[in-house]
Structure 1
Amino acid sequence: MHDARLMHDARSPSMVRLAAASLAGTAIEFYDFFVYGTAAALVLGPLFFPTVSPLTGTLAAFGTFAVGFLSRPLGSAVFGPLGDRYGRRPVLLLSLLLTGVATVAVGFVPPYASIGTAAPVLLLVLRFLQGLGLGGEWGGAVLLTAEHAPERRRGLWAGIPQVGPAVGFLLANGVMLTLSATLSEAQFRSWGWRVPFWAAGVLVAAGLLLRAQLPESPRFRELAERDERAAAPLAEVVRGHWRLVLLTAGGLAVGYAVFYAVTTWSLAYGTGRLGVDRTVMLGCVMAAVAVKGALTPLAAHLGDRLGRRSMCLAGCTGTVIWMFPMVALLRTGRAPLMFLGFLGALLAFVAMLAVTAAYLPELYEPRVRCTGASLGYNLGGVLGGGLTPLVATALSRGGGPPWGVAAYLTGVALLSLGCFALLPETRPPQPADGTDRPLPRPMGAGEAAV
């Protein structure tokens, strides 16, 4: 066993190179996913659902947006077992390819005026495929990093790919913002919104080249060499770990809810209801997301010092406190105050996001880790991310302040707080001499050590 670990260590790549490649691929996949959300908030309603009112069109566009979240757990059910049976690395390549092809195809779908009801149907199918690919992305990316990392700094290294959503969002919205600022309204609605989808093809090609060079994780190689892989990972997770999957999904729901309330619903509400210029809204949201991305490694490091569960509880508590102030600041329509509201919400969110990449894998035993962690993560997306733009748009349809949205987000945060309270801590004990030597983690803290 000791010799096997030494052999794996000798084959391990530089953690900087591995984390950077995982981050790049994750950023590209989330770029693909986010660019659809921004387009749904800004232009998809009138282009693909023109026969209904503007509000109903926005709801319909967000409905196709939600389909991507509904398909993500299915992607976990497909790609997770592949990761547990055949390795984390193949999952990274297949999921990136599927998401990328679907994203590029969205840019070629004709509007309703050209092909009628076939247009929204095609959007629905392609959004489903986007979610399917992203459902397999997260588990492979974070496991490949987490299972290479030294135990005492696992949270920090595994947290690096968690910067990917922020980078992907900034890329997607940066392109949208540039096009929105430089094109006329007619040009943007005619073809400008399609450019970010076409650009995904170049990004995906670069991501595949990076990921093709990554080695398999040492923990999976060890399982394969000892023939300890699960024969039916999905069945094993459903049968033996269903409670853990539900608790992690409920815990992560608030992170999704907050993020998509800020990055998707607020765009539609600010531009449509408050009359704020599109570039101003995008600028406020992007600035807040940039700060969140920059602070993600720090929050991940704090998870190594203070504990994964402790950070998640702190993030939920911060969300409970901040949702009503965030809505009040959004209602002002003033850029500095809206930025402050978004930033406070995303700082609470990042306390959970940063540690999740280490926390979820540590909760599951290695033989079913890719399936279990991916399912919990993406079911949380259904509960929080897929429903939030729809629910928030419906709750804010009246003429007054959208306090119902704040109440909804606060309720989701309380649900997540309760779920995290029922989960164990997994942070490994810290060596007194400050070295990075691996230490055994008490089995009561999770189900198995990485």
Structure 2
Amino acid sequence: MTTPAAGTGTPDSATMRRVAIASGVGTTIEFYDFLIYGTAAALVFPTVFFPVLGATAGTVASFATFAVAFIARPLGAIFFGHFGDRLGRKRTLVATLVLMGVSTMLIGLLPGSATIGVAAPIALVVLRFAQGFAVGGEWTGAVLLTAEYAPPGKRGFYAVFPQLGAPIALVLANATFLATGLVLGDTDQAFLDYGWRIPFLVSAVLVGVGLYVRLNIEETPAFVRARSQREASAQLGTAPLVSAIRSQARTILLGGGTGIALFAFFYIGTAYLTSYGASASGVGLSRQTVLAMGIASGIAFGTMTVVSGRLSDRIGRRRLVIASCAAAAVWALVLFPLLGVGTGWAFGIGLVVTLAIVGVQHGPMGAMFPELFETRHRYSGAGAAYNLAAILGGTVPPMIAAPLAVTFGPMAVGIMLAALALVSVVCARMLPETHLTDMAPTLAPAPAAARPAVGSGGVA
């Protein structure tokens, strides 16, 4: 097996440390920006941007704007995937970070409906679209950065660093909202007027740190070699996404199906359950209690991400993913009866266990998705699979959970989640094991027009 550096030798520890930090810091910032929107959508946006709709309809509308990002994600994956496979991982990751940072800061500055009327929710949708567009290209580039640099046998370990961005961001997002609420005291109006904006504006500092780190790393050796081989063999005509669809369409579809459970349980846990826990029609806990439980769930999420990512180098990615999805199917049927107990402890246990199960799948997938695709279209192919999962698992479930619970009871949400988890089990079983995959660049044969004919004076 060649190294992921495509034959250029194993990177030294200092290089791997820089790459790990660059990928982890960037995804933390991107997911922080992405997740604070989910928290605000649960706690603030129904009142600030959709006050005329009432509590239930306002919550549905708020989560509809949350879902807009998942529609934008595949478009971002196509756009940034193309340039990531053409121009390189590093430059593309810098672009996604800037776009996400600017969009998030503008949301923090956006006036509410009471000030600018219908323009407020329209602008919110546009900025949320930009957030999703950026995230569509971020995750794939970050995991490729570590996977293509990592030495053999350690891809699962190093791919954990960009995967830690989501749990760290979850802790930061909840902690920032919690700290803001504690500083403002119990004055809900102050929190609604300006307190909720502080977490969005804080992202400006984080983006500056992320840009500094990312601008000081080199392009991955695997991409550099693949680009030089592609140029030498005149394979610049086919767009990377087209190449991925032509040769690995089945892998894209199965990868997307495998990731459905990850997104469904993650966003139900971080967005819908936050609303359910704090609402009078749900558990009716205080905002501070719900946010504190969110921090605990983020710690459990991160811990299991590290454990499962490192373990996947030993026993394989596929086995852990299947086990996590199977456990999720069972847990979904237990979760809402547990929440029905109505205590803070029951809510906390439900949230923590949900995110811990998500972590078991989340850890291996940072290495698994890049390993499924060839270098020449890896950014586009892995991005397409990941964001297909984001649409199927992250768009519809959080948006329909509230009306589903109102119409059929909370258990209906659990049944929906269990069904989605079983879909992921079936798809994961149809994928190959990847932890021993050679990630060196592979290229399709050059087009006939680009190959000199035998006997024509060229090389046969």
Normalised by the length of structure 1, the TM-score is 0.92
In structure 2, relative to structure 1, the CA distance for the partners of 1:188 and 1:410 (3 Å cut) is: same
Give the one of 230, 252, 260 matched to 2:259. Answer: 252
- The CA distance in 1 between the partners of 2:358 and 2:277, in whole Å, is 21
Per the alignment, residue 449 of structure 2 pairs with none
Per the alignment, residue 205 of structure 2 pairs with 202
CA radius of gyration, larger in: 2
**Is 1:316–1:416's contact at 8 Å kept on the other side of the alignment?**
yes
Per the alignment, residue 81 of structure 1 pairs with 82
Per the alignment, residue 167 of structure 1 pairs with 168
Per the alignment, residue 286 of structure 2 pairs with 277
Q: Secondary structure at the match of 1:275?
A: coil
Q: Secondary structure at the match of 1:333?
A: coil
Q: Secondary structure at the match of 2:110?
A: coil
Per the alignment, residue 433 of structure 1 pairs with none
Residue 32 in structure 1 maps to residue 41 in structure 2: no
Deviation at 1:242, TM superposition (A): 2.0
Per the alignment, residue 412 of structure 1 pairs with 420
- The CA distance in 1 between the partners of 2:397 and 2:202, in whole Å, is 28
Cα deviation digits, residues 179-230 of structure 1 (max 9, x gap): 1223211100000001111111111111101100011111001112223565
Give the one of 215, 223, 235 matched to 2:242. Answer: 235
Give the one of 345, 348, 352 matched to 1:339. Answer: 348
- The CA distance in 2 between the partners of 1:370 and 1:34, in whole Å, is 23
Residue 422 in structure 1 maps to residue 430 in structure 2: yes
Report the more deviating stretch, 336-345 or 108-117. 336-345
Per the alignment, residue 218 of structure 2 pairs with 215
Q: Secondary structure at the match of 2:259?
A: helix
Alignment of 1:186-201 (within 5 A): 186-201=189-204
Deviation at 1:151, TM superposition (A): 1.5
Amino acid at match of 2:419: G
**Is 1:71–1:131's contact at 8 Å kept on the other side of the alignment?**
yes
Deviation at 1:248, TM superposition (A): 0.8
Amino acid at match of 1:234: L
Deviation at 1:84, TM superposition (A): 0.7
**Is 1:41–1:62's contact at 8 Å kept on the other side of the alignment?**
yes
**Is 1:319–1:348's contact at 8 Å kept on the other side of the alignment?**
yes
Q: Secondary structure at the match of 1:151?
A: coil
Per the alignment, residue 396 of structure 2 pairs with 387
In structure 2, relative to structure 1, the CA distance for the partners of 1:6 and 1:405 (3 Å cut) is: closer
Per the alignment, residue 372 of structure 2 pairs with 363
Per the alignment, residue 402 of structure 1 pairs with 410
Report the more deviating stretch, 116-125 or 223-232. 223-232
Cα deviation digits, residues 157-200 of structure 1 (max 9, x gap): 11221011011111111111111223211100000001111111
- The CA distance in 2 between the partners of 1:57 and 1:160, in whole Å, is 37
Amino acid at match of 1:243: R
Deviation at 1:7, TM superposition (A): 4.5
- The CA distance in 2 between the partners of 1:441 and 1:243, in whole Å, is 19
Cα deviation digits, residues 361-415 of structure 1 (max 9, x gap): 11111100000001111111111112221111111125x8500010000010011
Q: Provide runs of 4+ in structure 1 moved above 3 Å.
A: 1-13, 228-231, 440-443
Alignment of 1:51-90 (within 5 A): 51-90=52-91
In structure 2, relative to structure 1, the CA distance for the partners of 1:442 and 1:143 (3 Å cut) is: closer
**Is 1:12–1:148's contact at 8 Å kept on the other side of the alignment?**
no
Per the alignment, residue 309 of structure 1 pairs with 318
Q: Which runs of 5+ in 2 are unaligned?
A: 445-460
Deviation at 1:11, TM superposition (A): 8.0
Per the alignment, residue 454 of structure 2 pairs with none
- The CA distance in 2 between the partners of 1:415 and 1:447, in whole Å, is 32
Deviation at 1:10, TM superposition (A): 6.1
**Is 1:363–1:447's contact at 8 Å kept on the other side of the alignment?**
no
Q: Which runs of 5+ in 1 are unaligned?
A: 430-439
- The CA distance in 2 between the partners of 1:239 and 1:225, in whole Å, is 22
Amino acid at match of 1:260: Y
Over aligned residues, Cα RMSD in angstroms? 2.3
Per the alignment, residue 305 of structure 2 pairs with 296
**Is 2:143–2:366's contact at 8 Å kept on the other side of the alignment?**
yes
Give the one of 268, 271, 288 matched to 1:264. Answer: 271
Alignment of 1:324-335 (within 5 A): 324-335=333-344
Deviation at 1:337, TM superposition (A): 2.1
Deviation at 1:294, TM superposition (A): 2.3
**Is 1:362–1:447's contact at 8 Å kept on the other side of the alignment?**
no
Deviation at 1:330, TM superposition (A): 1.7
In structure 2, relative to structure 1, the CA distance for the partners of 1:2 and 1:360 (3 Å cut) is: closer
Amino acid at match of 1:137: E
Aligned pairs, number: 435
Deviation at 1:13, TM superposition (A): 4.8
Amino acid at match of 1:136: G
Amino-acid identity (%) = 40
